[in-house]
Amino acid sequence: MTAIYHTSPEEITEIKENTMKRLKTSTIKRYSNKQLVRHFDRSLDLFNTAPFRITGSGKVFEYDPSNNCYFFSFTTEDRDTLIIAIEAIHRTLETRTL
C-alpha cells in the first residue's frame, strides 16, 4: 500500500466553507470507485491550496509544502488508498472548521 503523508491543518493556507458531508462507512462500501473519485475531487475544491490533485488519467498527486510542488502519490484505481485520502481530507476540513 502507498503511504499517504497527511498535510497538517497549519500547512493549508485557507479552506473554503465546508459544504461536503463526511461519508459514512456504509456509503463508502456501497460507492463505486467512480463515485469515490467524484467525492474526492469535489472535496478538493474546498481548498485554495489542495492537498491533492487528480489528473484526467486517474493519477493523484500530493502537495509537498516544503518544496511547494505536487508529487505522484497513487492512482484512483487503488481504492484503499483513495479512501484513506478522503478520510484525511475530512479530518483536515473538520480540524479547520472547529
Q: What is the pTM of this model?
A: 0.77
Q: How far is CA 41 from CA 48, 67, 89, 90, 98, in A?
A: 13, 23, 11, 12, 23
Please count the other Cβ atoms lying within 10 Å of the Cβ belonging to residue 74.
21
Delimit the domains of the chain by residue range. 9-97
**Model pLDDT, residue 19:** 60
pLDDT of 47 > 60? The answer is: yes
State the Cα–Cα distance between residues 53 and 58, nearest whole angstrom.
10
pLDDT tens by residue, 17-31: 556 678 888 999 999
